[in-house]
Each structure stands twice: as structure tokens, then as C-alpha cells.
Amino acid sequence: MKITFMGAGSTVFARNVIGDCMCSEALRDSTFALYDIDGERLKESQTILEAMRQTKGGYGKIECYQGVENRKEALRGADFVVNAIQVGLYDPCTIIDFEVPKKYGLRQTIADTLGIGGIMRALRTIPVMADFAKDMEEVCPDALFLNYTNPMAMLSGYMQRYTGIKTVGLCHSVQVCSEGLLKQLGMEDKLEGRKELIAGINHMAWLLELRDKNGVDLYPEIKARVADKMADPECKDKVRLDYINHFGYYCTESSEHNAEYNMFYIKSKYPELIDRYNIPLDEYPRRCVNQIEGWKKEYAELMENGVKDHERSREYASWIMESCVTGTPYQIGGNVLNTGHLITNLPENACVEVPCLVNGHGVHPCNVGALPVQCAAMNMTNINVQLLTIEAARTLKREHIYQAAMLDPHTGSELDIDTIKKMVDELIEAHGDFLPKYH
């Protein structure tokens, strides 16, 4: 079996996913093909993973492929392809995504999923993933593509609509959603045996049902405790708790993410909201700098003290692969096309996040039915941007980028149309060769 990791220079994530595979008896004898365009980072990943492979008994083998000219060989014959690329990296592209909008008075927190930052990230990533798909259609047409790169719905949605590659988008937030909510509200005693239903779109999938082991609905108690938590000045999850107050449901991704997915919390006319809701503006650039420095230190320590053993994580990838190989059923929250209206009040060409059953025949999305109308409405404000961004990438029409930005809830609530277009033009120019030519 062959498992190819695209963007293997993301060493920490590659270590987790491939380390998980090495913990699986069904997967550990695989060929792990590491691909990246950065030779130094690829070498670091190879060093770490080779040491980990030895600590795990020396099963399987690791191969490295650097550069676009070797990409097809990295993919050739793969059974599974894990995607974790970041086109343009933190420097220069993430810096551009934050600094140019800031000139126009538009502030962001993460800028990797929605908003003008999410739009630009999708536009520079989709062409690269389209090239991956062309190669895969030639050298591993039956492989399952596991996408971890953001913006999840835009990238996975493009792959699912416009390529022949079997694709599922995977996020880290579904697994920890209800657990995080119950812990922060002091309801740890309800964790064991709980049952939940989560559906919507990536980073804004709704915790529609949460019941304890006896089937008792936990939402009444949750809602009763929200006010006290919101009054806590140290609480970092106020946006999502506020969702419970105003929309009735909690959602999957963090409050720093969700603060910029709507028109409610980051508003230049209401600067006091930033402190009231503990919104960390410019969080992602700070996080990137800290991660880069942190990895340098960690790598030096690993080289000095040796690689520690790896315990299998809750990350979906290895469990999906194992289920496909062994036929043992496994349930995930997956990002799939809304074909057949899995969620009846969202469009069929949207990429939705719903429960999926995995088995020896692949990934099977479950029908959810209709979301509460207010939840579907919130999702649609994001889906509008996602669909227009995909259309821009497909047609190379600049007008669709303008429209995506105009309809973005945060951007459209802060800037007028002429300013939005001027900002988009400046971003396109600043990204240069990281983007195709738009007309």
C-alpha cells in the first residue's frame, strides 16, 4: 500500500498523520511517500519520520520527492493522498492577506477560511490542487484524496465538482466540539456515553443535538450556564456562546475563527466589541511566527534527545484509511458535496460537513434533512462566498472575485463596493505569480 503526503514539509502535521498510520497494524507496512517543494523542510520531516518508523518496529518505508518535476512519481500508484499544502506560506502570502486589507480598515483574525483572506488563499491554492488532480487521474485514479488544507469548503468543493478524484475534506474541530463545550461549562460528568449530531459547513457546522448517555437533552442546561460563562472576562469562546444565545446552537470551530465569518463582532464603528468578546485580531500571523520559532526549538531538541514514541491521535486520516482497508466501519464528520440534498435547505453544489460512514467501499455521507432555518441562513452567507470564489477560480473572471468579496459578510459590512474592488485589485497585484491571470 502507498500513502502519499502532499505538503510533507508541514512536519508536525505529517508526523501526526503518518505516525498514526505507523500505529495501525493494517497501515504500518505501507510506503509513505513524502512530497514538498521545500527541500530543507522535506529533509526535516524525513529525519523525524524515519526515526519514528524505527521506534515503531521498522515497518514500511519512507520515500521523498522534491519539486513539481517529481510530483507525479510521488503520486504514482498511491492508495491514499493526504493534502496539507500551504501555497505562498506565511511569508509572503499570509502577510499580504492581512496587511493589504488592514490598509483599507478591514481587520481579520485567522483569514484562512472565509473573508478576503480566505478568498485569496483559495485562489492561489485551487490551481495547484487542480494540477494534483490531473496527475492523480493519470497515475492513481482510484486513490482517496484526504484534504486538510483550508479554506476547506472552497478547495474540497472545487475538487468534488471539477475533478474526477474521490475527495473528502477533513477538519480537526468536529471531534472536539461537544467535549470542549461541556468542559468549559463545568459539565464534564456528561461526557461519557454522550450522543451528538453535527451538520452544516466546515468551521460552521452546528451541534444540532447533544444528549447524555440516558438520552436526556443537554441543551437546556447548557443554555442556563452560558450567561455565567459569558460574564467571565477570561473566557475566550464568547462568540460561539453568543451563537447559542442568538441562534440557539453551538458550532464546531473556535470563536477567533467565527468572529470573522459574519457581520456582528468585528466592526470599526463598534470597537468596544473586540474587548467584550475577547477577539484576537491578527491572531494567525502571531500564531505563524510562534509556530515557526517553536518548531526550530523542537527540532533541535529532537535531534539532541531523540524522537519520542508516538501515540495514535484522534485525527481522522489514519482511521479512514484503516476502515477502507479492513472494512471495519468508522464514522467521521466529513466535508462532501451536498449531492441529493444531504442537507435539504442548502444548495446541492455546496460543500457541506455531515456525518459520514466509512467502510471497505469508501466514504458514505449521511442524509441529515433540514437545518434550523436560522442555521441554514448563517451557512448561506458563507456558502455564497465559497461558490463565487470557486467560480472565479474556474473562469478566471475578476468580477467573480469582486462579487465574492462584496458578499462576504464581514467585508461587505465594513467597506463600500468601490473600496472592495480597489482592495481586491491590490491583493491580486501583491500576490503576483502566486495567482493565475484574471481578466
Give the residue numbers annotated as catalytic, written as ranges. Answer: 172
Return the H-helix or E-strand segment holding 338. none
Specify burial of residue 81 (Cβ count, 10 A radius: 0-12, 13-18, 19+).
buried
Contacts of 379 (CB under 8 A, 6+ apart): 200, 201, 204, 346, 371
If you search the block for the grid coordinates 468601490, which residue do you land on? 418
Give the CA radius of gyration of the chain: 21
CA dist 434 → 4, 96, 102, 124, 400 (Å):
24, 12, 20, 6, 18
CA distances from 367 to 171, 196, 338, 339 (A): 19, 15, 9, 10
What are the cell numbers at 376? 441554514
Burial of 17 (0-12, 13-18, 19+ CB in 10 A): buried
| Residue spans of alpha helices (H) in 231-338 | 238-247, 255-258, 272-276, 283-305, 316-326
Alpha helices in 334-397, H assignment, sequence order: 373-395
CA distance 182 to 185: 5
> Residue 372: helix, strand or coil by DSSP?
coil
Are 144 and 80 in contact, with CB atoms under 8 Å apart? yes
Assess whether the previous peptide bond of 92 is cis (omega < 30° from 0). Answer: yes
CA dihedral sign, ordered 334, 338, 339, 341: positive
Q: Which residue spans within 149-285 are E strands per DSSP?
A: 166-169, 195-201, 204-211
**How many Å from the N-terminal Cα to the C-terminal Cα in the chain?**
44
